Amino acid sequence: MTSYTLTDADRGRYIGIEITPTTQTGTPNVGTALHLYDVSTASGGGSDSDNVAPGPVVNQNLKVAIFVDGTSINLINGSTPIELGKTYVAKLYSDENKNGKFDAGTDADVTANYDFRWVLSGSSQQLGTSGGIVNSSFDNNNLVIPATNDEARTNLNGPARDGKEALSIPTNGDGVQGYKLHIIYKHK
């Protein structure tokens, strides 16, 4: 039996195997190779009941940061309210030095390897309107919060998708105030 230990270089790759049947005697003594391209799903050749997580090898150092464009302060888990007229940037990175913050030149920016969607979570400040997933025009892009709440309602509201409720900022409501920003993401 041959074994293989996953390393950092395997991050983002799918686990598969190739088995070539061989015998010590006979003609032919090498059979047709059997390919299992993704052992995490039944459709890729694996089993859905084998406790192998679906998808590629997970980056154990993967972190998410959300910044106001032009700044370096990570807003995740903070108390900074969403501001009108600001542009927000999502960054997925491999925290190579494991210090919990993005360090340019040390940490690897892996945002391009992921698809992400913006979500306004929680409830609006005054009316308690539930948040939801932002309009798909912002998928994999910076989130531009318009200068007025009315423009925010028009530009950000979108239908339910990806298991998230529709974002429905009401007319004459309190707009984006009170919500928290986050993203949902998956490896491409």
Give phi and psi for 64, each to the nearest 5. -120, 140
What average pLDDT does the structure give for the chain? 85
Give phi and psi for 33, each to the nearest 5. -65, 140
pLDDT at 60: 80
Asked if 20 and 31 count as a contact pair (C-beta separation under 8 A), the reply is yes
Residue 35 has pLDDT above 80, yes or no: no
Cα–Cα distances in angstroms (integers) from residue 84 to residues 81, 115, 144, 174, 179, in the given order? 10, 25, 9, 12, 12
Which tokens go with 16? 């598969």
pLDDT at 34: 78
Give phi and psi for 69, each to the nearest 5. -50, 130
pLDDT at 42: 58
pLDDT at 39: 65
Residue 43 has pLDDT above 70, yes or no: no
| Of 27 and 138, the one with more pLDDT | 138
Residue spans of the domains in the chain: they are 1-58, 62-187
Residue 45 has pLDDT above 60, yes or no: no
pLDDT tens readout for residues 61-103: 889 999 999 998 999 888 888 999 999 999 999 998 989 888 8
pLDDT tens readout for residues 121-169: 999 888 889 999 999 999 999 999 999 988 999 999 999 999 999 999 8
pLDDT at 1: 58
Give phi and psi for 12, each to the nearest 5. 85, -5
pLDDT at 168: 92
Asked if 116 and 90 count as a contact pair (C-beta separation under 8 A), the reply is yes
Residue 29 has pLDDT above 90, yes or no: no
Residue 10 has pLDDT above 80, yes or no: no
Asked if 80 and 66 count as a contact pair (C-beta separation under 8 A), the reply is no
Based on DSSP, count helices (H) and strands (E) in the chain, helices before strands: 1, 9
